[in-house]
Amino acid sequence: MAVPSLHVVGATTLHCCPLSFPSCTLQYFPSHTSALLTGTESPLQSLHALVPRLARAPTCLTWQSPPHSCCMENIRSFCITWAQRLCCCCCNRGEDKPTELTTQVEVRSATGQDQQPSSTGLKDDGNGNSRPQPPPKRALSGQQTPKEPHKQKETVTSYTNEGTHVTVEIHPKGTSPQFFKKLSFGKGPWRTPSLRGQDNKAFERTEAPRPPSTKDLHVYPWDKFSLKSLAVDLQKFEKLDAYALKVNNKGSVEELVQTLLKQARTDLEKVRVIWMWICHHIEYDVVGFHNKSLRLCEPTDVLRTGKSVCEGYAGLFQKMCRVAGIQCMKLSGYSKGYGYKIGQTFQGNSDHAWNAVYLDGRWHLLDSTWGSGTVDDASTKFTFRYNEFYFLTHPALFVNNHFPDNSNWQLLKPTLTLKQFESNLQHNSDFYKLGLLAAHPQTALIQTENGTATISVECRPSTLFTFKLEGTDKHGLLTLRKQGMKLELYPQKTGRQELQIFARPSKSTEDVYTCVLEYIVECKSVDKSRHFPKDLHQPVGPSWFTEKQGFLRPSHPDPIIHTNDGRCSLTFTLGKDISILASLHTDSSSLSEEMSRQHIMQIQRGNQVEFKVHLPHAGSFVLKFFTKKKSDPGSYSFVFNYLITCLNTEVKWPAFPLRYSKWAEGYELLEPLSRLLPANRNVQFKLKMQGISKVLVQAGDTYTLTLSRDGFWEGTCNTAGCTELFVMVHENANHGYYSHILKYDIETQ
């Protein structure tokens, strides 16, 4: 229901009280007990300063109400009651009784002229720009702008534009008729204040949107500051958005706009409520997309059927904005939407339509078609899936997939050529919604150099990435950085190949990646030395993500470790109370699942952990790390991996000794590190273990190790007469049993 407005106008010359006071406006809300007084001079007069004069002089009140409001007698009664209750001086002094008041009523129909804004208006009734825009004389194409063949239609404001104006004169009983002439009767319509934004005042009078000028332009490329061309607080739109979704008015366009604008006061709110309604109530016409003869694009048809193609979306949006008094343009051009192929060239007729709206003194771009939802790959089914990105999109981002017929409507400085638009990399809305800022190279076609190509993405922290080159992620190395990622590609065949890059927020509870970039990689030669193991997972190497998992200050920050002798040692500082499991993998069959952990020796000293790796042979290996909370009895989860390479064909390191379950996390083996010991030899043992009362080495004979002053268990044993050797510990002096912690194999003669 529209809010009635009650206006109080004081006479400039009063017979019984020769005082004058400025014109003021009283906005009355029936659902509230208070009223709001807005004056044209400062400071504002209070009701107690204004209303007492009702007892001494005639005053005129104008009440604009919808057709279904209360009857005339109720209006008359309300006005008298209002004056008596608010007037602290309407009682005769000494007699203590109310002054008798009478009323005289004039009734008129509301007209479009009545809806023009007054010179006073209400506070905060626009976008803050009070300068009206002059009407343009020519369109951007240089052709004379055609005039509307029909009469200018009434503009809808936040108040109802249809109904009755009831003007009630209130004056003391017995006032002479000559005082009536001083009031508003017969002096023309009273112009009610408007809540319309100041930017579109000129448009209300002319219906001729002005073309873009230099003040509308944004610098290209994007400044990486805001996704929108106008500062918008989406939280403030929550109630308005919810209201738009509930409106189900399928009458005329004018009736629908009038209903929607009941909750909209500023120009921005008007545009927002129209946008939200279209995006949630008009579906894409997939049948009309394939059959032009079945398309319905006129606004009335789109509203009636609830579906259309982009032409209908843009046309309806323009129509609704114009009814609401908002300057709006329907634009056409090329787009990188459904059916677009990377590297595609554009020629011939335009293939898409969208809109520009005038807000806050500038033009802004939006696409309600793409804001409403998506179609499937076969373009046979439409799904409502609201997309906020295409509401007031920054022009430097909008031009990624919208190229207008008239370059002025890019709203950019400098503007892009069609050739630049065709070659530029397409950033879809998901790219920016995930916090990504830029990608390099910026062209969609990449050519390799010496069999490799590099892609990087700049983004805000906490974004995970992966990729697919011709459907696999095995031909590249993706590393995470604090502000993005780097991808080194090594295609294993020549020719053109499709590259897709995916991303997701690290805090997401779902392990679902969204495609954000697509390239075409043209490979002229293949680097065969860069063949990666199938067990290599992306991303590779330590990063901000591994830091969050507890791996701090890695000794090897790079994802690839090169070793010439087949050995390497990695250290980390642990930032969490976690248990770590490491394993080694290669494409050859030399490593079984059991042996994948036996070529790694883990040593923990407080919060420092070291991993000694001995490769069984030359080649490429994947070193994987898994973790779990120490307090968690569950399984280990994969965290990250390294790529280890060795080209020395003479490398052939045996595994480390087999460790039993009693091998504790804080134990450290210094020698012997090889699982295979020579036969008939004396072998030196040295271990560091705390909380142990006795250590034995069981071979052909049993040998006891002694605890040195520096805390090492040391001793020598002979491997004669045995094929296996065991190290055992006695943890508690009060118990008589020993636990096996290590096992060695003895070479056969």
Q: Which residues are catalytic?
A: 310, 352, 367
Rounded to 5 degrees, what are φ and ψ at 745?
Answer: -105, 145
Rounded to 5 degrees, what are φ and ψ at 303?
Answer: -65, -40
- Name residue 301's amino acid: D
Residue 730 parent element (H or E): strand 724-730
State both tokens at 170: 């209130």
The CA distance from 728 to 708, in Å, is: 18
Q: Which residues contact 667 (CB under 8 A, 6 or more apart)?
A: 687, 688, 689, 741
Q: Are 242 and 416 in contact (CB under 8 A)?
A: no
Query: Tokens 């295979």 — which residue?
Result: 676
The CA distance from 563 to 565, in Å, is: 6
The CA distance from 228 to 336, in Å, is: 20
The CA distance from 233 to 229, in Å, is: 13
The CA distance from 461 to 473, in Å, is: 23
The CA distance from 532 to 44, in Å, is: 78
Q: Are 408 and 211 in contact (CB under 8 A)?
A: yes
Burial of 531 per CB tally in 10 Å (0-12, 13-18, 19+)? middle
State both tokens at 408: 């002025």
Q: Which of 582, 583, 584 shows the shortest CA–CA distance to 620?
A: 584
Residue 113 burial (CB count, 10 A): 10
Residue 304 parent element (H or E): helix 299-305
- Name residue 21's amino acid: F
Residue count of the chain, please give it. 749
3-state secondary structure (DSSP) of residue 172? strand
End-to-end CA distance of the chain, in Å? 101
State both tokens at 268: 């921005």
Q: From residue 283, how far is each of 145, 300, 313 by CA, in Å?
A: 32, 15, 9
The CA distance from 495 to 526, in Å, is: 10
Residue 396 parent element (H or E): helix 395-398
Q: From residue 561, how far is each of 414, 569, 647 by CA, in Å?
A: 46, 10, 12
Q: Are 718 and 685 in contact (CB under 8 A)?
A: no
At CA 528, angle to CA 525 and CA 529, rounded to 5?
Answer: 130
The CA distance from 276 to 260, in Å, is: 10
State both tokens at 131: 């300068």
Checking phi first, is residue 637 left (phi over 0); if not, alpha (psi -120 to 50) or beta?
beta
Burial of 50 per CB tally in 10 Å (0-12, 13-18, 19+)? buried
Q: Are 124 and 170 in contact (CB under 8 A)?
A: no
The CA distance from 178 to 624, in Å, is: 99
The CA distance from 703 to 707, in Å, is: 13
State both tokens at 320: 């609704």
Q: Which residues contact 378 (CB under 8 A, 6 or more apart)?
A: none
Determine if the peptide bond prior to 414 is cis (ω within 30°). Answer: yes
Q: Which of 131, 128, 125, 156 shows the shortest CA–CA distance to 25?
A: 125
